[in-house]
Structure 1
């Protein structure tokens, strides 16, 4: 019996190369843990960063299909979007790369009070340039809300470059002149283990009947374990822990002070 990880994205829509576009997840897909977790935490953080008074300017960096646009507008943000490719609806405001030369028209829209950058930076090759651009786009007192995964399979290849730690985010932020307000490690052993289980398939290692039997048993065990983790049934009795060392994703709030 041999276990294989699922790594190929060869059938992926080219428009979805750089982003998790819509934050929806299938029950048995590897993203069935990370997507609901991220959506909940991003929405809660957006709400906490909204203020009464004049509309704040928000730029959605790597916006994809703009899943957080409705909430941002309900919260009173003046929403603008930026990405490497136009989306299906054709409503991305500015096109370019966050680690390249920014379009003059994008800079003219700023400065921004909030930069929303969710699950983008693992696909950004040059973090030094990207963080410098984040700083330049922010108003004084403005913030960056960013997330990037720590435990997740290779995806959106060949543009999958990094799995960042909180220390990497803090280092790049501080060297770009940004203050770290908070960095959270989202998810834990349950989410990380479930993601890894969903990313693994089993196939017979030999042609013999015993190999087929063991492979079938492994597939059943994988499915049962994944469902127990996903449904929350297992956590009624035991909580898988990563001890703070294994977790699903990073969420950071950074601020420009001057």
Structure 2
């Protein structure tokens, strides 16, 4: 559990939280894959480092880009880079972690080779990025990748795919998108009645999230629409 209650509220949320489904699934999958990264780790697009406590590594280094529309401050960022060249020598890191960043990268043809460059041969990279999610952190929201597109993209830049997982399923994705739509409508319609807004939000989100979990367990198989992609990659040892 993250020690900061504000970060925990958003990234380890309860069912009354509007983004519970996507955040809950992300927390579970990062916790699952974190033991497969080791050594000196680079958190690319680290933000507030919400998942740092899940990793047991020798050193945890965060780098980020200062862009428009971002939700979080940069207090926990160790290095700010220019959006093109990472400020590290070749083969500086044993592992790279990046969560919910790829969709904000406007120049993947430049950045992915940079990630490859700073990763040691044989090093691993864990990525999460959304599939079913509205535009956010505007205007710096550039892409949604299917699992097939993401695999092809990283293979073209010299990475080997070790594992691929999709979080959520059709039920959870549709419910999460509906909750986001409801939240945006509630905020506008009842912005002058905050107590009513809070009451409606709390109970609607709690019931919708609970219902999604109930039906998701009974109909888990359809993942043609889902929440997030999770990729575990490796830089070939012979590079």
TM bucket (normalised to shorter chain) is 0.7 to 0.9
Cα gap change, 1:242 to 1:126, in 2 (>3 Å): farther
Match of 2:22 in 1: 34
Cα gap change, 1:157 to 1:128, in 2 (>3 Å): same
2:47·2:74 contact (CA, 8 Å) conserved in 1?
Answer: no
Spell out the pairing of 1:134-213 with structure 2 (5 A cutoff).
Answer: 134-201=115-182
Cα gap change, 1:28 to 1:242, in 2 (>3 Å): farther
What is the alpha-carbon distance in structure 2 between the residues aligned to residue 36 and residue 238 of structure 1?
Answer: 15
1:61·1:115 contact (CA, 8 Å) conserved in 2?
Answer: yes
Cα gap change, 1:153 to 1:237, in 2 (>3 Å): closer
Match of 1:216 in 2: none
1:182·1:254 contact (CA, 8 Å) conserved in 2?
Answer: yes
The alpha carbon displacement at 1:252 in A equals 0.1
The alpha carbon displacement at 1:200 in A equals 1.9
Task: Report the 3-state secondary structure (helix = DSSP H, G, I; strand = E; otherwise coil) of the residue aligned with 1:200.
Answer: helix
What is the alpha-carbon distance in structure 2 between the residues aligned to residue 23 and residue 77 of structure 1?
Answer: 24
2:131·2:144 contact (CA, 8 Å) conserved in 1?
Answer: yes
What is the alpha-carbon distance in structure 1 between the residues aligned to residue 170 and residue 37 of structure 2?
Answer: 29
1:188·1:244 contact (CA, 8 Å) conserved in 2?
Answer: yes
What is the alpha-carbon distance in structure 1 between the residues aligned to residue 217 and residue 119 of structure 2?
Answer: 44
Unaligned runs of 5+ in 1: 1-20, 51-55, 204-219
What is the alpha-carbon distance in structure 2 between the residues aligned to residue 185 and residue 101 of structure 1?
Answer: 30
What is the alpha-carbon distance in structure 2 between the residues aligned to residue 172 and residue 30 of structure 1?
Answer: 31
1:29·1:198 contact (CA, 8 Å) conserved in 2?
Answer: no
Unaligned runs of 5+ in 2: 1-8, 186-199
Task: Report the 3-state secondary structure (helix = DSSP H, G, I; strand = E; otherwise coil) of the residue aligned with 1:155.
Answer: coil
Task: Report the 3-state secondary structure (helix = DSSP H, G, I; strand = E; otherwise coil) of the residue aligned with 2:173.
Answer: helix
Residue-by-residue CA offset, 1:193-218 (whole Å, 9 max, x unaligned):
21111022497xxxxxxxxxxxxxxx
- 1:253 equivalent in alignment to 2:232: yes
What is the alpha-carbon distance in structure 2 between the residues aligned to residue 35 and residue 26 of structure 1?
Answer: 10
The alpha carbon displacement at 1:67 in A equals 1.3
- 1:49 equivalent in alignment to 2:45: no
Match of 1:79 in 2: 60
2:172·2:216 contact (CA, 8 Å) conserved in 1?
Answer: no
The structure having more radius of gyration, on CA atoms, is: 1
Match of 1:10 in 2: none
Cα gap change, 1:245 to 1:236, in 2 (>3 Å): closer
Cα gap change, 1:85 to 1:234, in 2 (>3 Å): closer
Cα gap change, 1:66 to 1:191, in 2 (>3 Å): same
RMSD of Structure 2 on Structure 1 (CA): 2.9
What is the alpha-carbon distance in structure 2 between the residues aligned to residue 237 and residue 160 of structure 1?
Answer: 29
Residue in structure 2 matching 1:102, options 86, 96, 120: 86
1:150·1:164 contact (CA, 8 Å) conserved in 2?
Answer: yes
Match of 1:59 in 2: 42
1:115·1:144 contact (CA, 8 Å) conserved in 2?
Answer: yes
Cα gap change, 1:243 to 1:138, in 2 (>3 Å): same
